[in-house]
Amino acid sequence: MYIENLFKREFFINRNALNLAVNLLGHLLIHQTKQGTLIGKIVETEAYLSDDPASHSVIGKTKRNAPMFERGGIAYIYFTYGMHYCFNIVSGNKNMGEAVLIRAIEPIKGIEIMRKNRRKQDIKILTNGPAKLTQAFGINKKYNYHKLNKRPLFIAKNHYKIPKKQIIQTTRIGIKKGTQLPYRFYIKGNSFVSKK
DNA sequence: CGTAAGATGAAG
DNA sequence: TTCATCTTACGG
């Protein structure tokens, strides 16, 4: 059903991270697993640009951030704080060094599987944070470099378009550098947006 | 090598 | 506010 609505590779390549961060809001992250299909609506994103002090890419290409320098449309997944995975979508063309961090998602389908993966019951805390949603969706380093226009992990179009008025642009959270830059976007009033 | 920081989350 | 926990990048 959602499979024919998946975004093509060009969608991610033909724009920079700021543009992609805005344009991902409201669309769907889908993971087809053995246990069942997981679907969530993207409700919060952060852009990390090439000349951005907070971006992993600012130091140049390293083994960890190398996916950011590939053509857009692949996943950049990194492990942090000894236990968490964060999921990014690379934007722009090769060697741009930009990506969008998916910070929060609204669970749509496969909620029981998400509860199991998270070992938490309350739907409100299943996916309202970058490392929470990767745990809920079973996303880990095996999907680093994965093309997001292919199953089993992909982005699909939601035909309902978010009104421009409902998109809030503000500063990013959880970082020490570049805190003044307004590179965070979220859907106004959505109760699955992460908290500071 | 040694080490410090980290785009976090959960508990107290 | 503290801590769990470990990879990564960088300096010696």
A76: the nucleotide nearest its CA (via C1') is B7
Q: Is the pTM of this model over 0.95?
A: yes
Q: pLDDT tens-digit profile of A60-78?
A: 999 999 999 999 999 999 9
Residue A195, pLDDT score: 87
Q: How distant is C1' of B10 from CA of A43, in Å? A: 23
- Rounded Cα distance between A42 and A136, Å, is 14
Q: pLDDT tens-digit profile of A131-145?
A: 999 999 999 999 999
A79: the nucleotide nearest its CA (via C1') is C7
* Nearest amino-acid residue to C3, taking CA and C1': A81
CB A89 within 8 A of CB A73: yes
Q: How distant is C1' of C5 from CA of A81, in Å? A: 6
Average per-residue pLDDT for chain A? 96
A2 touches strand C (CB under 7 A): no
Paired tokens of A155: 């982005």
- pLDDT band at residue A38 under the 50/70/90 scheme: very high
A30: left (phi over 0), alpha (psi -120 to 50) or beta: beta
Query: What is the CB-side half-sphere exposure of residue A35 using CA atoms within 13 A?
Result: 15
Burial of A23 per CB tally in 10 Å (0-12, 13-18, 19+): buried
